[in-house]
């Protein structure tokens, strides 16, 4: 039997309102037997208490059809085992999850088997448990067959003694579970937890001895740039959907706008809201959704985060850079200046002169390094940033650990084994730029350079030879801040598209005084901005219009002519 879970034409399908599931049920009889159960369950909180079959649109049954239809009864094995459903808020996600898991419990043949719904909070756990409890209460046959214990959020099948339990998750509640079916709800919230990967590993460990088992990850989009396990799963399932990774055992069902629609801002047109709201007209009220959009737009004039939050939750638009009240004015334009081809090697190859900014260095700080090059001929500013941190720094910032690990995987953050390995990295990188003949100057906050001065002196980067300088902070850095804002807007500033820098840029908070607009370090809280400040230091030096230290030979571009 051969099949594929890739859906390379998903952009056409989603705009046309077609199914996002590319493969049919592998075993149609198994699928129909399960769907008969699911369609017969009642939705008590809907007017008239209709059944799933009476109330639900066809898209609702796409995932369970493949889930239950992937079970090979002869082998006792489920051939498609992992699923991701990403859909906008209020599209009956929790109700559908309860129906699918209750159906799995009713179809189960293994004695004393376990099924688990893992929720990040008690409120989400209630949303998942209550529809299953109410569906049983509305059906006399199910009341006879099932024993419901609301105080434990536990449902037990009286004949097989199999259970469905809903838990608000932590490592202790899921440790030792042998669940054959697991549904992880609101995965985006797990992405914010430092221990989420271990928690999910514990929760899904039972599948190793349950070949008929499955895992469903269900979520809306995150209210800030995706992080942790949510980012990892979303990236992986997108790659499966697009055909970049072949994994026949994983099925993505992702309701999001095609990139071209986002670029043309067609997702902002109410007539296109259906793209990520497949239940529009049912559990999602069209008029109310449009009204909330207008309210978010109005609130967005003073609070950019309000509009951004609406787009993330109700239209499933992924946040690239967090926008907030009193945020840096350049933040809304940051993502548009990204150039994925702008590596450090490319920057050095394209530039005629380079400045370097550094910032940070405390135990709970990122040590930020920013490199800005001025492009030959165009004079466009090219920016590449990196950060370093020690294990102790990660331990002191547990709330940020999921993000730090993501940045480490992206290659934007280096976790050094011990200090001063971060300074060794700095000297190696700056030494390379110096040896190339491109270095104009290195700049840093005079109050926070610490051992960097001594380390740079070993490679002859000093104040005496005018290759190292202190960059005044506060109001004196406002010029660099404004310069970068303008250059982002007019297209003369490009950066590498680092997710870490997008996070730092979104963390920057501004304080307005009677005479200045200042970056407020203390207002950023746990959101670090050290690489952002390093970028402003480098930008200040580049705004001084340094002269190239060496001429560029025409033969670097056209090569030698041999006669």
- The pLDDT > 90 percentage for the chain reads 75
Paired tokens of 436: 């190339």
Find all residues with CB under 8 Å of 506, minimum gap 6, and list them: 224, 225, 321, 322, 323, 324, 327, 331, 527
In residues, how long is the chain?
A: 563
- No. of H helices and E strands in the chain? 24, 19
Q: What pLDDT does 175 receive? A: 67
DSSP state of 318: P
- The predicted pLDDT at position 340 comes to 92
pLDDT, tens digit, 9 for 90 and up, residues 440-481: 999 988 776 668 888 999 999 999 999 999 998 888 889 999
Which stretch of DSSP H or E encloses residue 236? helix 228-242
CA angle 129, 131, 137 (to 5 degrees): 105
Please report how the helices 530-543 and 499-507 are oriented relative to each other, as an axis angle in degrees rounded to 10.
90
95 vs 80: CA distance, rounded Å: 22
SS (H, E, C) 295-314: HHHHHCCCCHHHHHHHHHHH
Crossing angle, helix 196-203 and helix 228-242, to 10 degrees? 60
pLDDT at residue 553 in the model: 47
Q: Rounded to the nearest 5 degrees, what angle is found at the Cα of 412, between the Cα atoms of 419 and 322?
A: 115
Q: Give the position of tokens 């898991």.
A: 101
> How many Å apart are CA 426 and CA 394, to the nearest integer?
19
pLDDT for res 555: 44
Four-CA torsion 159, 160, 161, 164, nearest 10 degrees:
-110
What is the number of other CB atoms lying within 10 angstroms of the CB of residue 560?
5
Strands 214-219 and 179-185: parallel
What local confidence, expressed as pLDDT, does residue 326 receive?
A: 78
Dihedrals φ, ψ of 493, to 5°? -135, 125
Asked whether 330 and 502 are in contact (CB, 8 A), the reply is no
The structure's pTM equals: 0.83
For 557, the token pair is 């571009």
- C-alpha distances (whole Å) from 231 to each of 124, 194, 219, 226, 387 are 20, 13, 12, 5, 20
- pLDDT 10s digit of each residue in the chain, 563 long? 789 999 999 999 999 999 999 999 999 999 999 999 999 999 999 999 999 999 999 999 999 999 999 999 999 999 999 999 999 999 999 999 999 999 999 999 999 999 999 999 999 999 999 999 999 999 999 999 999 999 999 999 999 999 999 998 765 666 667 889 999 999 999 999 888 888 898 888 888 889 999 999 999 999 989 999 999 999 999 999 999 999 999 999 999 999 999 999 999 999 999 999 999 999 999 999 999 999 999 988 778 888 899 999 999 999 988 777 778 989 999 999 999 999 999 999 999 999 999 997 677 789 999 999 999 999 999 999 999 999 888 888 888 899 999 999 999 999 998 888 899 999 999 999 999 999 999 998 877 666 888 899 999 999 999 999 999 888 888 999 999 999 999 999 999 999 999 999 999 988 877 666 777 765 454 468 999 999 999 999 999 999 987 655 444 544 544 44
DSSP 226: -
The tokens for 441 are 């100057």
| Token pair of 80 as six digits | 């498609």
Q: For residues 358-384, b (16+ Cβ closer than 10 Å) or e, as one string?
A: bbbbeebbbbbbbbbbbbbeeebbbbb
pLDDT at 450: 67
Retrieve residue 114's tokens.
């376990």
Q: Do residues 220 and 93 touch, judged by C-beta distance below 8 A?
A: yes
Q: Which helix (H) or strand (E) holds 517?
A: strand 517-519
Tell me the domains of the chain and their CATH numbers: 10-260 (3.40.50.300), 264-320 (no CATH), 332-543 (3.30.420.240)
The strand pair at 351-359 and 367-375 is best described as antiparallel
At 531, phi and psi to the nearest 5? -65, -35
Two structure tokens written together for 83: 């699923």
**Which residues is 497 bridged to in the sheet?**
none
């Amino acid at each position: 039997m051969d099949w594929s879970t890739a859906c390379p034409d998903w952009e056409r399908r989603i705009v046309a309102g077609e199914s996002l599931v590319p493969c049919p049920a592998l075993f149609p009889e198994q699928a129909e037997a399960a769907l008969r159960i699911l369609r017969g369950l009642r939705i008590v909180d809907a007017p008239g208490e209709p059944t799933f079959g009476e109330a639900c649109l066809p898209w609702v049954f796409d995932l369970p059809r493949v889930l239950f239809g992937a079970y090979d009864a002869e082998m006792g094995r489920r051939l498609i085992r992992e699923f991701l459903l990403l859909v906008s808020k209020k599209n009956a996600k929790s109700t559908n999850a309860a129906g699918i898991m209750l159906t799995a419990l009713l179809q189960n043949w293994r004695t004393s088997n376990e099924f688990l719904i893992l929720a990040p909070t008690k409120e989400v756990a209630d949303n998942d448990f209550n529809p299953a409890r109410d569906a049983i209460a509305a059906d006399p046959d199910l009341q006879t067959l099932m024993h419901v214990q609301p105080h434990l959020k536990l449902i037990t099948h009286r004949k097989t003694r199999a259970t469905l339990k809903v838990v608000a998750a932590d490592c202790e509640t899921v440790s030792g579970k042998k669940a054959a079916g697991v549904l992880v709800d609101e995965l985006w919230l797990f992405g914010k937890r430092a221990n989420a990967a271990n928690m999910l590993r514990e929760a899904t460990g039972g599948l190793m001895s349950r070949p008929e088992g499955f895992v469903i990850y269900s979520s809306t989009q995150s209210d800030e740039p995706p992080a942790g396990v949510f980012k990892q799963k979303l990236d992986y399932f997108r790659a499966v959907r697009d055909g970049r990774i072949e994994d026949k055992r994983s099925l993505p069902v992702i309701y999001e706008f095609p990139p071209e629609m986002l670029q043309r801002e067609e997702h902002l047109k109410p007539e296109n809201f259906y793209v990520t709201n497949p239940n529009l007209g049912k559990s999602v009220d069209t008029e109310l959704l449009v009204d909330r959009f207008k309210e978010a737009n109005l609130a967005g004039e003073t609070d950019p985060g309000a509009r951004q939050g609406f787009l993330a939750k109700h239209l499933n638009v992924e946040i690239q850079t967090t926008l907030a009240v009193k945020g840096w004015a350049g933040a809304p334009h940051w993502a548009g200046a990204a150039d994925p081809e702008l590596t450090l090697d490319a920057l050095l190859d394209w530039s005629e002169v380079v400045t370097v900014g550094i910032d940070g260095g405390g135990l709970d700080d990122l040590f930020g390094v920013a490199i800005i090059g001025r492009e030959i001929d165009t004079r466009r500013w090219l920016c590449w940033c990196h950060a370093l941190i020690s294990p102790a720094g990660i331990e002191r910032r547990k709330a940020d650990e999921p993000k730090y690990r993501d940045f480490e995987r992206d290659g934007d953050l280096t976790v050094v084994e011990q200090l001063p390995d971060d300074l060794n990295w700095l000297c190696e990188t700056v030494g390379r730029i110096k040896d190339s003949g491109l270095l104009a100057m290195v700049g840093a906050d005079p109050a926070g350079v610490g051992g960097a001065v001594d380390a740079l002196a070993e490679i002859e980067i000093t104040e005496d030879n005018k290759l190292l300088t202190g960059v005044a902070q506060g109001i004196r850095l406002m010029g660099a801040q404004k310069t970068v804002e303008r250059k982002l807007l007019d297209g003369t500033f490009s950066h590498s598209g680092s997710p870490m820098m997008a996070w730092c840029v979104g963390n920057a908070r501004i304080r307005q005084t009677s005479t200045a607009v200042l970056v407020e370090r203390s207002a950023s809280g746990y959101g670090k901005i050290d690489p952002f400040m390093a970028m402003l230091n480098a930008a200040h030096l580049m705004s001084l219009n340094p002269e190239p230290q060496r001429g560029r030979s025409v033969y670097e571009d056209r090569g030698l002519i041999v006669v």
